[in-house]
Amino acid sequence: MLGVCWVSVMLPVCAEAQVYAYVDDHGSTHFSDQPRHKGYKKHQPKRRPGTRSKYARSSENPAAWDGLIERKGLAYGVSPALVKAVIRAESNFNRYAVSRVGAQGLMQLMPGTAAQLGVKDPFSPAENIDGGTRYLSYLMKRFPKDPSLALAAYNAGENAVLRFAGVPPYPETRQYVKRVLRFYRTYDADFR
């Protein structure tokens, strides 16, 4: 079962201190400024200059990824239009986007989630879309009766959706679900 590791660690762009990461037996990633035991390894987040905001403008053509999105969507049983809508909401097609909490790439994968999904380079469109689509597919199967719940889980985590027995009352998550569904209707014609 795939789980989300929602890490609330803010890694500065120009850090002087070294950051260490450790993945425990349950697949959770732990970060520290000091290695607490030999399992911690130096962590170098992959960043590109000027890409801190997940809502940065994209210089990429949104249609550039359509072939890849369609292949991955069909491979994992997710509507390609929905995958494209998630990418638009998450990164605005900026493959180098990094959020304030460290989510990376087109589908804004957290480092722990990316590691669980086998994504080695979150800025690689092929790896990011593959991992993000697999994760979205998992969530759609986890919450099969309502795609809004899968989208809410993608944004806020599975546990939040389970705890509130629905879309959590977080304004960001509620807006996210509405935005993705609006984009989904827009992109549906792209894949017919």
16 included as an active-site residue:
no
CA distances from 6 to 26, 40, 79, 134, 160 (A): 14, 19, 25, 17, 11
Residue from 60, 90, 158, 172 carrying the catalytic annotation: 90
Q: What positions carry a catalytic annotation?
A: 90
